[in-house]
Each structure stands twice: as structure tokens, then as C-alpha cells.
Structure 1
């Protein structure tokens, strides 16, 4: 479950930004399924019950430019570091590219093109 201020708004934000599809709403959840079959269920949670979460998405290098263009067009403030000191920049950690930002629910989002462990190999197909 992904806690949100507004489940529909957050699900649409993720789906549009990362190129995913929104599923049919069921109960308190608006589901978004990722390309590798992981489903994120967005739920509206009162502010006092919501705690900052961190979600990291590993995307293929070839998909980063399109994702990054959508991020910039969204008007969301992004930065190269998790502390938010390098505003308007991306990082090049582990030979890839990455960026941090907050979703509409206040969750910390990280999108990277290389895993943290340099010795870990990415799958040949996504």
C-alpha cells in the first residue's frame, strides 16, 4: 500500500510519470501495475497517520530521457541527492542516472538506471 493524500491523484501521477497503467479502483485502493508485475495500491490516508515512505524504481537507461522529460513537464521539484541539496540536477551514480523527488502524497521517490551494487548485473530484458 502506498499512503497518499488523495489515492486517485497519486496513482495518476505515478502512472503518467513512469508510463504505467491505472487499474480499476477496488475498495479504498487505486492500483497501478508496474512493467515487472508489481502492483502499487494507492490509498488515501489522513495526514496525521501518513509517514514518509521511500520508493525506488530501477528503469532501463533507454527509458530515462522520456521519464525525465515527463518529470520536468510535471513541474515537480527534483534533485540529484536524497537530502535535496542539489536542486534541478540529476546524479550519475554507478555509471547511470538518477533523480529524487516527492510524490503528491509526500513520499520520497527515487528513479535510477543502475542498481546500487556495481557488481550486480541488470537483466537482459525488462
Structure 2
């Protein structure tokens, strides 16, 4: 068991998570192109998207119905503008809120900026510049 004092972070990092997709290559490429990342890398039955801190999103192709998941990506202020521009250039709908009520807008939660959009399988993707609670 890992002991944690109030206010300390736990020395555990998320290493990878599996993202179900109808087309693992197309979905992984969609994400890397939107976020401006290198090409995805095949690994076993997965197409992996390497992120910071050795984290990977491992796209797995399945014929089963896809249940929408939420994935949030923290980026710099400069990268935010580039990511949003790529979303707009592709003609993708984006929203300021996770419920998709405020189309074509961004939010300024916690003193940062953020927005939501969907990947080809309907996963709700979020891009933000400040972690929630950062302004507290």
C-alpha cells in the first residue's frame, strides 16, 4: 500500500491505456495529426500513440460496438492554438463543454483554455492548458 500525506502526490504513473477503435490505424493517426505528434507505432495487436512521461494510448481494433470514453490532453498555450487550428481546418465540430452544448466555442476554466471534440469512434477528446483546480 502506498502511504500519502495530505497534499502529496502518489508516486504512481499511468503507463498505458487501451482505446477501442473500429480502425486502430485511422484512429491513432487521427489523434497524432490533430495533436501534432509523431506517427503511431505498431506494437503487437495495437497502434500506440506515445505521450509524455512514457504514457501510451494503445489503439485496439474491435468489431464490438464502441463505448465512448473521455480522454483529456494538457498542452501548452502555444500548442493549444495549433491544435485548435487543425480541428477547425478539418471542419470538425468542437465545443466549450463536455455535454456538447456550446458548439464552436472554447472555455476558460481555471484560467486556462479548453475545448472538446470527437474522434472517428465518438470518443470525447478534450484539450486544455491548465489542470482543473489549478486556479485554486
TM-score when normalising by structure 1:
0.87
Higher RCO (Cα < 8 Å, 6 or more apart)? 1
CA RMSD of aligned residues (A): 1.5
Which of residues 70, 79, 93 in structure 2 aligns to 1:77? 93
Choose 1 or 2 for highest CA Rg. Answer: 2
5+ long unaligned stretches in structure 1: 121-126
Shift of 1:43: 1.0
Which of residues 99, 105, 112 in structure 1 aligns to 2:121? 105
Asked if the contact 1:20/1:35 (under 8 Å) is kept, the reply is: no
Q: How many residues align?
A: 119
5 Å matches for 1:86-125?
86-119=102-135
Shift of 1:109: 0.5
CA deviations on 1:19-60 (whole Å, 9 max, x unpaired) are 112343133211111133211111112242x21110011111
Q: Which runs of 4+ in 1 moved over 3 A?
A: none
Is structure 2 residue 39 aligned with structure 1 residue 22? Answer: yes
Q: Give the 3-state SS of the residue equivalent to 1:22 in structure 2.
A: coil
